[in-house]
Structure 1
């Protein structure tokens, strides 16, 4: 069993507090016992019911819109613990080491999308972009923005429609930026917080960061958690640590800077837990209001009695959600409930000294609180509250001692209830702001953005997310759905920057936005924080690369003839995209929306042809087929698509669809080996050409080979290793069907396995890697021993995979540590597509042995001509008996194989292949040589 990382910041210590006894849940078990426990954990997942709910049902339960993260919770759990441990990833130190791609000589190349954007909760004007420091003669046009899972970015001129964003160096690309604060005594000092409490544990942060030079360099600011370490009960696991920073504020106290940080908590499960899989609550015992009066060198949690609540016989402290400083320099705070305990929400606090806090009032039934205070009237506050899962608005004229409901905006979108502008997701998108120069002008954000000039008596809509459901009748500007932030220009309150699920927008005239579609415009050029699920690179290329991939909430994005560097993509399907495949030779692509809805489209134009399923895509019941983001695989040789589905009796099956010009014929492949063991990864063999040989990985430690998968009578064979434990994330073939690579999604397991004898024996290959999920694996077909993997912390590689103890190194040059979910290879030129969940797409290349390297091994092989009608000549300076010769097409399929005795005399091959690009590979004495050839 892999050793788990233990960090001081998590304070995993023994504690005994009022009956809560900390015990070790990671028991020493046999592989068989651990597998049984793992299966029980998954089958009793706290998301067993919620992951199959519709979007509407999920919103009613205050759950994030899609269930991808819930499925990832199940797949990445530590099988011995019953839950994942993503909070440990944030503390792993991955030093930049040289290797390739991603080395100094072969860096990753960012490809985009440069025009998509992504979820943004933090956006603010650079306070130092003024006067002599502005650099361009324009004050306050430099903007910082923080992407959720996308890092911290800067735009040097937000007013320029052609301006682009650049990621801040020195900070991790996978930072979940959630909050910021500027020191009023020193504008060069800025703090950012990480971790998004609202995302049910899917966006765990890694603490607080600080710059003292205006954003050029950043350092981590340690906060020692107050309260006990990790606690276990029979029904709850309270994991110690600081995982979510909900808000930060800095107050000027007689020239001294007081820093206040609101530490949140959430359960990495649903409230409906059970004893076999306990509720894992992240940081509840350490949540609360933290204060520093020495610039973050030391911290104390404020533990006033008014901030306490009781849960399970233990005392906890409320989680702050929003801070404000009134016109008379008094501190105010709104709270948020801690999921898993359900306590502490809806509270409104006041403090004159930062040490003693008075509970002014509580909004009945409220959970999340957002505050906006007048810049001139110290008693006037506007409040946005999540009450019974919807957004409600209030006003207070007595410093939060009492609150009065005010009118709420009525969205022109007829699908949004008139009494809830957040459409049931106030837990997720909820904004309230008041104009610093006019208390009557207030702004509210939910699905869309609204403005009132009479303190909420009436509202005008100043943004719309689409042009249907009545929205086509208003002339408001477009802003992506789900508003998260609105920050005013420091000297012109009619201008602002807005953060949404689509990135950043710039408002040139808030007062005209209800009548002018040009008053607010998107600013996402180069703001590449796109969360992809899958990616595909076409085998053909002419003027550039052809890429496609499915994204979170931004549909399926495609790009043809991509130039080097970042590119603008085109959305070819809306909503949540899924699995993608490109068959350039046959001129079609597979694009997928949620569940098992696969659409066959023309390539490269992406015009819709038909739905590849047993029923029409729009008629498929969402809970009857695959996962929300379903796994699939295309046999490009026989034009068969394989994906997850279910039989009528509810058992798992593989749907096999034969793809024709205008329709598909589909049937289900069933076996006892998968009926209760859902497939999680597929790979079609490129070596068997007259039928489909399908490699299948499953959620319960199993790897299968399915022969004749394209027929009605396939054969399922279990080739799993005896020590496999976990949910398979990727399966790949090497240079033959005997050579197989397997990776696992999970924490706490051996994540990499390899066989060179078809599964008779397996070797573990993880060795020096940290304890992180591995999502994808890709061997270099041209250089034996070089393998790369996609992980939670970017790409790692080894050049000695075939050794008993391979050494892995991170390949961070050009990409850094972001979650890499998919790796695809264009074999004609060894181009790798690395698809990330948070930073878009990147490409790199594999190298082969150079001519000089072969000569150093006393080999001198020549292959000519490289352009021919199929007649190839091979010569060697040495006698090389039993040289294996293989030919591969652009899809990686082996189309020719022979053994030849090479020598000083020429050997001739007659390749009866259709016109196109091919790779010819020669292997002898443990060495190999590959050349590209073209058959006319």
Structure 2
């Protein structure tokens, strides 16, 4: 089909209508900034990740994660020959949507080199810090998920230390935040390299207790052999650059370190978070041998971050916060003897435990950057703050460039940004950081190998369209998704707490379909679509809801089951009547429920399953009586199999590592091939779960394989990770003969009077050659049901993995606006029986109905446009659900 040259007009029409709504809606202010009613989404996300790991205990086991990692690498070998010969995992992005970034460091000997630490995605490096070109993940040889601190030797930049583990609390509880809800990723202590990251060794070895975390590492500016570390267990010191460590002050949740630049015996350390005891700023005047808690700083329950004024190191700023709101910005001019409150502005808003900081210009103390949910600048020493628009929200860390005073780097939930003018403006340099955090509920097209979508932590629902730059379509925390198996123009996405949306144009625009949905639901709400009748969907709240009209309306088909929110769901590929759901153990222990009659009756089929979080369920696509369920936590079975619709279950965990297990998928062509995802990556069985093999080649050392999804169109397996984006790999089983068909140059919108033509790519994905002729028909049906175009082509004799492009004869030129139905039919024969049909919808647009807008730049700040409400380009993206990135400049 001819590419739609005027599609941009259609998109501009969307922009124009959306901006008109934006400028005239009195609800925008309430939607964005009703802060009194908001709580930190980070709290909810952290709570989910940690509860599914620790439950039923209060915290994760001390050493189980590292023990399982070692066992996997040394004992669980790739014994399957087909695994050894198969292609490795291939990174698929998104490169344009980085995930939560929590640490930064500039090479002091070469400012072109910048390091970034991801929350659950490891250590990254670019050799072009100006624009962030070519970010690469740095392999450490250890399961480094979260990197909270990075320190580089100013005298020899080959020497580096990194601190692992994203930890916000230790053993305390305050305001609903408890220890098990305040850890983002496992910590294994401090790692060290002496060759610029080519190889790493343990420095402060905490592999025996992965509950601990490193918040900051600071080197003595005069003697880089002396190093201090702020940790969850207190303040540590090393005199040999990390070969040996001593805990020089045991105080919970040491956060930030400032070393005096003229007298390095003077050190300040801030401590505390989430109500930990004795929180405050501590000072040593003897190089860390003794410590005194300073006065002048109010009592706080969150954390405090500091920065030193390099032109006068007696001047230090401290950004102080409670667990939710900020308390204020404080300043000392005598290295802590006294403190003065500079402002009381609540930059943290609802996450003082999580994301805020202050930075001062190295040579002009009037220039201050203060950050929290948003980012601000000051030209009078922090007394007044002005919002700076552009960067993503939730700011975790920053780094000065030691060689250029006005260059500042910031780390946030949207990656990395750079300012060349100390906070006046920012450029996004995070492109290429494949560190996004997918949740469960990833889906892909049954007929188009270049289409998939899934939800990200605080980074929207994103759509894959064949490149590593994914479209951001639905705002907030992206959640579950689904794709119509017969017509992938119809797809579903969602954002937190059950806000399900539907698209009829393959993900370019979405509308809410929540009519009839009500009640409590999990933060990330599951829903599933029937493969055989895609008008039927089920959604899991505390009740189960069902729609038979693609979401136009929903009705409850269950009571509240066990009083828990539903966490996982599966519907049979053979019938829409068979559904299994798993509940999260919140109000009561977890359960698995099943219906065999479309929701009229539900049965508790828990039957001996462990009381853990049921993270995923799948039903054998070839036998609806066979069901698999996988579980989080430690110390119990992680995958169970039933061959009688849940009446009994068998623990088939076998040699799989004892870590939280997150996802499961079955090859529809061979049910013996079962794939499982866990906190340590992906594993596969080729005998229905009797034995297991490592399937991680091409993935980082350790990834959270949050979801697995099979792309039917090209027989590949997607893994959606929580920290390293998405990867794809061919399925192990190769059918004897199997054809994949994809349309080429196919557009779902066209102007009236433009010519339609059709091409298809056909590939033999099997082991055997094609021995018979196959026919394939393309046809168009108009809105009245009349066939207006039809052509049939025949092809033969494709060898294994051989492809052919078919061009259908003639063309069709629509003369009337409306919707055309396109069908691509592959007729079966004895070698591959059965007809397969691909359905698509083509919208014919009247050119005169398109408003030809030309939005090039918005030069006014949004605070002026919408009367006091302040927000940035990412907020516009979230509100309008634009199918492309919306940005603006010249603030």
The TM-score with structure 1 as length reference comes to 0.70
Q: CA deviation at 1:218?
A: 2.2
Alignment match, 1:354: 288
Equivalent residues of 2:398, 2:409 under 8 A apart: yes
What residue is the counterpart of 1:119 in the other structure? Answer: 100
Instruction: Show the 5 A alignment for 1:725-740.
Output: 725-734=611-620, 735-740=622-627
In structure 2, the partner of 1:637 is 532
The alignment status of 1:402 with 2:342, answered yes or no, reads: no
Across the two proteins, how many residue pairs are aligned to each other?
Answer: 711
After superposition, the Cα gap between the structure-2 partners of 1:206 and 1:504, relative to the gap in structure 1 and judged at 3 Å, is same
In 1, the alpha carbon distance for the partners of 2:678 and 2:119 equals 18
Q: Is contact 2:258-2:307 (8 Å) kept?
A: yes
Instruction: Name the CA shift for 1:844/1:444 in 2 (closer, same or farther; >3 Å).
Output: same
User: How far, CA to CA, are the matches of 1:825 and 1:740 in structure 2?
Assistant: 17
Alignment-derived partner of residue 217 in structure 2: 248
1:500 pairs with 2:468: no
8 Å contact from structure 2 (residues 108, 403) kept in 1: no
Specify the SS of the correspondent of 2:608: coil
- What is the correspondence of 1:525-536 to structure 2 with a 5 Å cutoff? 525-533=431-439, 534-536=441-443
Seen in structure 2, the aligned counterparts of structure 1 residues 919 and 347 have a Cα distance that, compared at 3 Å, is farther
Distance change (3 Å), C-alpha of 1:85 and 1:173: closer
Report SS of the residue matched to 2:406. Answer: coil
* 2:541 corresponds to 1:654: no
Instruction: Indicate conservation of the 8 Å contact 1:732/1:740, yes or no.
Output: yes
CA 1:723–1:736 in 2, change beyond 3 Å: closer, same or farther?
Answer: same
Provide the rounded CA distance (Å) in 1 between the counterparts of 2:89 and 2:571: 27
- 2:632 counterpart residue number: 745
Note the 1:513-532 alignment, pairs <5 A.
Answer: 513=424, 519-532=425-438
| Matching residue within 454, 464, 474 for 1:549 | 454
CA displacement at 1:387 relative to structure 2 = 4.6
Q: Structure 1 pair 783/86, CA: closer, same or farther in 2 (3 Å)? A: farther
TM superposition shift of 1:934: 5.3
Q: 1:550 to 1:822 in 2, by over 3 A?
A: same
How big is the shift at 1:769? 1.6
Residue 351 of structure 2 corresponds to which residue in structure 1?
425
Q: 1:832 maps to which residue? A: 717
Task: Give the aligned partner of residue 599 of structure 1.
Answer: 501
Please state how far the C-alpha of 1:860 moved relative to its aligned partner: 9.7
Q: Does 1:558 align with 2:463?
A: yes
Change (3 A) 1:527 1:454: same
What is residue 141 of structure 1 aligned with on the other side?
112
Alpha-carbon distance change, 865 to 840 in structure 1, aligned in 2, over 3 angstroms: same
Residues 1:916 and 1:89: Cα distance change in structure 2 (over 3 Å) = farther
Cα distance in 1, alignment partners of residues 689 and 314 from structure 2: 70
- 1:150 is paired with a residue whose SS is coil
Change (3 A) 1:57 1:933: same
- Residue 558 (structure 2) aligns with: 670
Change (3 A) 1:392 1:338: closer
Please give the secondary structure, in 2, of the residue aligned with 1:95. helix
- Structure 1 window deviating more from structure 2 (582-591 vs 693-702): it is 693-702
Q: Distance in 2 between matches of 1:636 and 1:501?
A: 35
Equivalent in 450, 475, 492 of residue 590 of structure 1? 492
Cα pair distance change 1:931/1:159, threshold 3 Å: farther
The equivalent residue for 1:908 is none
Alignment of 1:713-728 (within 5 A): 714-728=600-614
Secondary structure at the aligned position of 2:225 is classed as: strand
Deviation of the 1:393 alpha carbon = 0.8
Partners of 1:421 and 1:752 lie apart in 2 by 44
Give 1:343 deviation, angstroms: 1.1
Preserved CA contact (<8 Å) 1:338 1:344:
no
2:167, 2:37 → 1: CA distance? 17
Gaps spanning 5+ residues in structure 1: where?
1-53, 130-139, 230-239, 265-286, 304-315, 409-418, 465-477, 514-518, 646-651, 853-858, 873-913, 923-929
The normalised TM-score by structure 2 is 0.73
- Structure 2 CA distance for partners of 1:360 and 1:918, relative to 1, 3 Å: farther
Which of 46, 65, 78 is 1:89 aligned to? 65
Per the alignment, residue 228 of structure 2 pairs with 260
> CA 1:87/1:203 → structure 2, altered by over 3 Å: closer, same or farther?
farther
Query: What is the deviation of 1:173?
Result: 6.9
Structure 1 distance, partners of 2:265, 2:149, is 20
Residues 917 and 297 from structure 1, CA distance in 2 versus in 1: closer, same or farther, beyond 3 angstroms?
A: farther
In the aligned structure 1, how far is the partner of 2:396 from the partner of 2:610? 43
Structure 2: distance between partners of 1:387 and 1:741: 44
* CA gap 1:182/1:782 in 2 versus in 1, 3 angstroms: same
Answer yes or no: is the 8 Å Cα contact 1:685–1:693 preserved in 2: yes
Give the deviation of 1:186 after TM superposition: 3.0
Distance between the aligned counterparts of 1:362 and 1:932, measured in 2? 79
Q: What is the SS of the residue equivalent to 1:124? A: strand
Query: Alpha-carbon deviation of 1:786?
Result: 2.4
- Distance (whole Å) between structure 2 residues aligned to residue 595 and residue 123 of structure 1: 33
Q: Kindly report which structure 2 residues correspond to 1:897-912, keeping only aligned pairs within 5 A, or say none.
A: none
- Per-residue deviation, 1:223: 3.6
What is the CA-CA distance between 1:331 and the residue it aligns to? 3.5
Change beyond 3 A, Cα 1:779–1:584: closer
CA distance in 1, matches of 2:583, 2:81: 31
Q: Deviations over 1:18-53 (max 9, x none)?
A: xxxxxxxxxxxxxxxxxxxxxxxxxxxxxxxxxxxx
Shift of 1:361: 2.9
Rate the CA distance shift 1:520–1:582 in 2: closer, same or farther, 3 A.
same
Q: Is the CA contact 2:43–2:182 (under 8 Å) kept in the aligned structure 1?
A: no
Per the TM alignment, residue 502 of structure 1 is displaced from its structure 2 partner at its CA by 0.8
Distance 2:122 2:461 in 1: 23
Separation in structure 2 between the aligned mates of residue 666 and residue 452 of structure 1, nearest angstrom:
51
Partner of 2:276 in structure 1? 342
What's the counterpart of residue 708 of structure 1?
Answer: 597
Give me the whole-angstrom Cα distance separating, in 1, the residues matched to 2:577 and 2:492: 18
Q: Distance in 2 between matches of 1:369 and 1:331?
A: 18
- Partner in structure 2 of residue 177 of structure 1: 147
CA spacing shift, 1:581–1:763, aligned 2, 3 Å: same
The corresponding residue for 1:217 is 199
- Within the candidate set 356, 371, 395, 2:306 is matched to 371
Partner of 2:44: 67
Query: Residue 456 of structure 2 contacts residue 479 of structure 2 at CA under 8 Å; is this kept in 1?
Result: yes
1:57-116 CA distance string (max 9 Å, x none): 7877xx65452332344444444x455448632453232854699856311111111111
Superposed CA offset, 1:232-265 (max 9, x none): xxxxxxxx66611111112156x5611211111x
**Whole-Å separation in 2 of the counterparts to 1:242 and 1:683:** 33
Could you give the per-residue CA deviations for residues 145-190 of structure 1, whole angstroms, max 9, x where no partner exists?
A: 11111111111212247x2311112355752111122234433211
Contact 1:351–1:358 (CA<8 Å) still a contact in 2? no
- Tell me, yes or no, if structure 1 residue 540 matches structure 2 residue 447: yes
Corresponding position of 1:823: 708
**Would the alpha carbon gap of residues 357 and 679 (structure 1) be closer, same or farther in structure 2, given more than 3 Å must change?**
closer
2:729 to 844, 848, 866: 844
CA offset digits 1:465-512 (Å, max 9, x no partner): xxxxxxxxxxxxx0111222222222221122211111101112237x
Cα distance in structure 2, aligned partners of 1:868 and 1:495: 60
Deviations along 1:332-372, whole A, 9 cap, x unmatched?
A: 22322254x63121223123322223334351223422222
1:444 to 370, 380, 389: 370
- Segments of structure 2 that go 5 or more residues without pairing to the other structure are 1-32, 169-180, 738-766, 778-791, 795-822, 839-891
Match of residue 475, structure 2, among 574, 578, 603: 574
Give the distance between the partners of 1:815 and 1:394, measured in 2 at CA.
Answer: 41
Aligned with 1:545: secondary structure?
Answer: coil
